[in-house]
Chains A and B, each alone.
Chain A
Amino acid sequence: MPPSDADPGPQEGQGLAVAAETLYLVNLLLVPGVAFVILLVLYLRHRGSAPALARSHLQQTLAASLWAGLLLILVNGLILWLGGYDQAATWMVLLLYFVSCHAALVLLGVVGLARAMAGKPYRYPLIGPRLPAGN
């Protein structure tokens, strides 16, 4: 649909959608764990009752946060375990992987936040569940 000149105003559930995306980013950047728990509580409280836009962003951010945990904690743990703590190559691979993966996850969150602020749904590429048809 082409963009229109009229400002449609906030969409239903937009506040919750923005909150979900913000919590996803806060979990990655500022207070990991704490922000995830708040996001989980929001998801559990609103998954059945929230408007479609908010529900979609809550689902996406929760799934992306779980993947982030897997990619950042488990994979790094695996690199360290397999490579050995005292090896230069281990730390090179680990740091390169962590910085690139973490930055990519943050950038996806930025796009998600911008979409939520515009009242639009967003699917995290590869790690987010499929959006319902029509989105």
Chain B
Amino acid sequence: MHKGKGMKFVGDSRVQDKSQRNTIPKDYSEYPGRTEAFWPNFLLKEWLVGAVFLIGFLCLVAVAPSPLEQQADPNNSAYIPLPDWYFLFLYELLKFEFASANYVVIGTVGIPGLAFGALLLAPFLDRGPGRRPSQRPIANGMMLMGVIATVWLTYVSVTAVDWEQREQYSIANATEHEVDTEHPGYEAYSNNCMSCHGENMGGNAGMGPSLLESQMNVDAVKDIARNGIGDMPANQFEGSDEELEKLANFIVDNRPSSGGEGEGNGEGSGEGSSEGENSDSES
């Protein structure tokens, strides 16, 4: 590149004086053979390759809709984490004894740092003038080993995953909870609670929490319906005590933890409703 001393510019600009310029890039006449103009000849062919590639890519997109699992639940302790496939080799590395527990630094920083550091600095490590693979046995050997290790680790990791079991995490397989609309308390629920706590007691973002995970018994529910709790004002329920009883039973009976709907209609579960703990799980 021509720079520094001897450069002339037009006026006070950075535009070089045309008469001075001799920075035309070297052409490829130094390579023997049939060259082709990039514009427009070669670009036209690239365009075709790109179009074919795009069709293939869109076929993939159409055939395999991108997966979506159920909404993140930090309390879901049964979930088995799995990174995206191109991180699996790093993930699998941590399962080796020498790269886990007390030695986890070797697996997280040591080996990957060494490998990717060497990759980054390859031109300064492999300094010989020869470009042919046969002239660089060490560099190529290391790279081959790295590639084989990466592919192998990914393969081992992928085969260890129970993909069928992971299917259940998909949003398509989320168990949609539905309340029993035949329950005697349903009318009271739909008139008094549904607008905030949702159609199926699943809660409404910003309005009311889900009632499905609540552990309250019937009396606690009755108390809250009358007196409120947290942000929930008092007297949300306006009706007779009899209706209140039905409503509380409805809420308790329709929680998934209480054995599903229809088990204890009406008075049946009035006194006990399994879990004794109340109030603080909801606020």
A binds B: no
User: Hey, which bits of chain B sit against chain A, CB under 8 A?
Assistant: none
